[in-house]
Structure 1
Amino acid sequence: MTTLFNIFLMLHIAGGSLGLITGTISLVRKKGDKPHRAIGKLFSYGMLTAGSSAFVLSVLHPNYFLFIVGVFTIYMVSTGYRYIYLKLLGKDQKPALLDWTITTAMGLTGAIFIALGIYKLIGHDNFGIVFIVFGGLSLRFVKTDVDNYRGKIKAKNYWLLCHLQRMIGAYIASATAFLVVNSKFVPFLPPVAIWLIPTVVLVPLIIIWSKKYHVKLQGK
């Protein structure tokens, strides 16, 4: 069991490091060109490796940190990547069973996050705030998925907005994991603050870029 854990731990570290580096590069450089697409693929591979291995690690040795990072990362990267191929929703395209499966799983997990968060807060454990924040964000993205899959499109380039939002969301998970693992270097910050700093800093960036790139549908 120890050997298996160490193998997945190395995969998690390697994938997370690749995701953090390529994600940072993607954030600061030009979007949409060939290098961006190449870097984006590396980011997706790295984050899916990190997320999948984190989920396995959380099962081998139950750990809230790894479970949240794993589930949130897998969902964000998977849907962000899938939206590149879902450009005609609301017209003649229908989401695949895989799309509904990923979104449904995240919806159930997000609800569980919120329930656990409330339970922990009732027990005077402030870590419940982290569960509620990540659960709330997850359900917000899930609602967007459901609307899009049902043809309730709110932007002409909805697929681009969703791709951008999900990939930054995955980067938030990567940055959060990095800060949590290295929290010993900032002992003056409470654990809850360390968990939420990337979210507080980067969610406004999601909002700003979403408004910048939003293309309205005719008549709306």
Structure 2
Amino acid sequence: MFTLFLIAHLIGGFSSLLLLWIPLLTKKGGKWHNRVGWLFVYGMSLVSVSAVGMASIRIFVQPDPTPERMQFSIFLLFIATLSAVSAYYGIRVLKFKKKEPIHRQPLDLAASALLLLAGLGCVVYGTMIGNSLITFFPLLGVFLGAGQLRYWLKPMTTKKSWIVEHITGMLTCSISTVTAFTVFGAPRLIGVDSSHILLWFLPTIIFLPLIFWFTNKYGAVKKSGEATRA
């Protein structure tokens, strides 16, 4: 089963890595953006499910006695949660473009709360074992989970806030894909050490400016348009 999960993980991961650039660079809402975007979501779903499967086997079914591998398996569960919840959130904000001031869909709130709690749990766990990566990287989940809950539980700042939230969710999902490739795939292809912690944070450092750029581009434009109509 572990081997099957690993194969599925590799297929989903490399497919998503190749596909994510098309929705990012094509016209938002266009044919290619929508069609390839769904393929990206399917690939990331395969990545998340297979990651949970592998981590669960290592933690519960056949516990690995090596402390480093056990720690990585726990961290893998967080990465799977980050990927799955971010993609799910990106899809759900599209469904509820005209959401109520307080969004009460239990699954949506539960998913965002799960990301928040998973991030907090990893931060505590990383602090206890003295692992800087597991301590600081999951802060991304804490920040995003809290932001998602704030969006669901408060009125939208503009009528088009869902655009910014959709882009943020999908770009966050992309962070996990590129991070996995940067840490595990690329070093093996070029024969370098993958242990440096900077490799884990490099995709986040690259994608965060993109999130801020899209947020400013679409948020500022829509606010300006609404102010003009008013």
TM-score category (smaller protein): 0.7 to 0.9
2:120 to 111, 117, 130: 111
Deviation at residue 56 of structure 1 after TM alignment: 1.2
Q: Which amino acid aligns with 2:198?
A: A
CA-to-aligned-CA distance 1:159-191 (integer Å, 9 cap, x gap): 111110110111110011111213343636652
Q: What is the alpha-carbon distance in structure 1 between the residues aligned to residue 120 and residue 166 of structure 2?
A: 23
Residue in 2 that maps onto 1:206 = 211
CA-to-aligned-CA distance 1:131-185 (integer Å, 9 cap, x gap): 3443222122222222222233223312111110110111110011111213343
Q: How many residues are aligned here?
A: 209
Deviation at residue 108 of structure 1 after TM alignment: 1.1
Q: What is the alpha-carbon distance in structure 2 between the residues aligned to residue 6 and residue 141 of structure 1?
A: 32
| 191 and 175 in structure 1: CA distance in 2 versus 1, 3 angstrom threshold | same
SS in 2 for 1:109: helix
Retained in 1: the 8 A contact 2:15–2:40?
A: yes
Deviation at residue 65 of structure 1 after TM alignment: 4.8
SS in 2 for 1:61: helix
CA-to-aligned-CA distance 1:65-97 (integer Å, 9 cap, x gap): 532321111111111111111112245x73421
Q: What is the alpha-carbon distance in structure 2 between the residues aligned to residue 64 and residue 179 of structure 1?
A: 19
Query: Would you say 1:161 and 2:164 are equivalent positions?
Result: yes
| 39 and 107 in structure 1: CA distance in 2 versus 1, 3 angstrom threshold | same
Gaps of 5+ in 1: none
| 172 and 41 in structure 1: CA distance in 2 versus 1, 3 angstrom threshold | same
Instruction: Write the mapping of 1:1-220 to structure 2, written as runs, cut at 5 A.
Output: 4-62=1-59, 63-91=73-101, 94-120=103-129, 123=130, 125=131, 128=132, 130-182=133-185, 183-184=187-188, 185=190, 187=192, 190-214=195-219, 215-216=222-223
Q: What is the alpha-carbon distance in structure 1 between the residues aligned to residue 210 and residue 100 of structure 2?
A: 27
| 16 and 95 in structure 1: CA distance in 2 versus 1, 3 angstrom threshold | farther
Q: Which amino acid aligns with 1:197?
A: L
Retained in 2: the 8 A contact 1:110–1:136?
A: yes
Q: What is the alpha-carbon distance in structure 1 between the residues aligned to residue 140 and residue 43 of structure 2?
A: 22
Instruction: Report the more deviating stretch, 149-158 or 43-52.
Output: 149-158
Retained in 2: the 8 A contact 1:89–1:95?
A: no
Q: What is the alpha-carbon distance in structure 2 between the residues aligned to residue 119 and residue 74 of structure 1?
A: 26
Percent of paired sites with the same residue? 25
- RMSD across aligned C-alpha pairs, in angstroms? 2.1
Q: Which amino acid aligns with 2:105?
A: A
SS in 1 for 2:91: helix
| 33 and 133 in structure 1: CA distance in 2 versus 1, 3 angstrom threshold | farther
Q: Which amino acid aligns with 2:127?
A: I
TM-score for both structures, normalised by structure 1:
0.86
